[in-house]
Amino acid sequence: MFELGVVYRSIRRAERTAADGLGAFGSTTVHEAQGRVGLLRPYMRPIYPGARVSGTAVTVLLQPGDNWMMHVVAEQIQPGDIVVAAVTAECSDGFFGDLLATSFQARGARGLVIDGGCRDVRDLQAMGFPVWSRAISSKGTIKATLGSVNISVVCAGAYITPGDVIVADDDGVVVVPAASAPQTLAAAVQREALEADKRARFAAGVLGLDMYKMREPLEEAGLRYIDGPPPR
């Protein structure tokens, strides 16, 4: 950790079936399926609505206002990867635009998660290359200082190791450790099955109070029902 100026070329990617399969469930279900951990801070927003992807993380640590390492990480991308970019200090500059996206997409990347800014939004949407970022900004960057590629990073408050699974959509971005991706996928499948049943019952008018048998614990906790109107 904390190592600058280094590129790791051999990372252990999460099992492909799990990495691909998790995308179908979206960030919210996956976040729940792994016990409500692994969520990046909610300031990370998609630059255009409607995208949902999953893939294996290749990571890059950038210096503020400097996107030199973006070209270094491009070479490490394999099909099915999602690039995860952390920055050593808060910075909203536009580290990434349509040229780099063309390069990343040609290498097989499915998207970018960056704790900084992004630009060329219109082009990226036209290309179908989704980005989750903390800002949108035309501000360009220089190429002067080394960061690192494929070290573990902290991105938007989450600790991400190269090879972990990233799931991102309109709700946000979740990281699943490579080792636990298969069981998280299994848990997500199971959760989704349960939810389908619950959804049908909710749609039929059943209340959560009854479905989840909450009336008794609520009463025990002291909840009181009053038939008159509330005081002003």
CA atoms within 13 A on the CB side of 183: 5
Least Å distance, CB 14 to a copy of itself, is 14
- Cα–Cα distance between 43 and 115 in angstroms, integer? 9
Near a copy of itself in 160-179, by CB under 8 A: 161-162, 169-172, 174, 177
By CB under 8 A, name the one of 27, 84, 131, 132 that touches a copy of itself.
Answer: 27
By CB under 8 A, name the one of 150, 165, 185, 188 that touches a copy of itself.
Answer: 150
Tell the residue number behind the tokens 């996928």, with chain if given. 185
Tell the residue number behind the tokens 């051999």, with chain if given. 10
Residue 230 tokens, joined = 């509330």
Near a copy of itself in 108-137, by CB under 8 A: 117, 119-122, 135-137
**Binding status of residue 37 toward a copy of itself by CB under 8 A:** yes
∠ Cα 220 225 226 (to 5°): 150
Residue 190 tokens, joined = 């199971």
Q: Quick check: 18 and 56 in contact, CB under 8 A?
A: no
**Binding status of residue 191 toward a copy of itself by CB under 8 A:** no
**Binding status of residue 15 toward a copy of itself by CB under 8 A:** no
**Binding status of residue 11 toward a copy of itself by CB under 8 A:** yes
Number of residues that bind a copy of itself (CB under 8 A): 113
Least Å distance, CB 210 to a copy of itself, is 9
**Binding status of residue 139 toward a copy of itself by CB under 8 A:** yes
DSSP structure class, residue 22: G
What sign has the CA pseudo-torsion 70, 71, 77, 80?
positive
By CB under 8 A, name the one of 21, 23, 55, 65 that touches a copy of itself.
Answer: 65
Least Å distance, CB 68 to a copy of itself, is 7
Q: Quick check: 131 and 111 in contact, CB under 8 A?
A: yes
Least Å distance, CB 42 to a copy of itself, is 4
Q: Which residues pair with 160 in a beta bridge?
A: 153
By CB under 8 A, name the one of 53, 66, 82, 85 that touches a copy of itself.
Answer: 66
- Cβ nearer to a copy of itself, comparing 90 with 128: 90
**Could you give the string, one character per residue 198-227, with x where binding to a copy of itself holds by CB under 8 A and - elsewhere?**
xx--xxxxxxxx--x-x---x--xxxxxxx
Q: Are strands 53-62 and 81-87 parallel, antiparallel or unpaired?
A: parallel
DSSP structure class, residue 54: E
Least Å distance, CB 33 to a copy of itself, is 10
Residue 202 tokens, joined = 């909710």
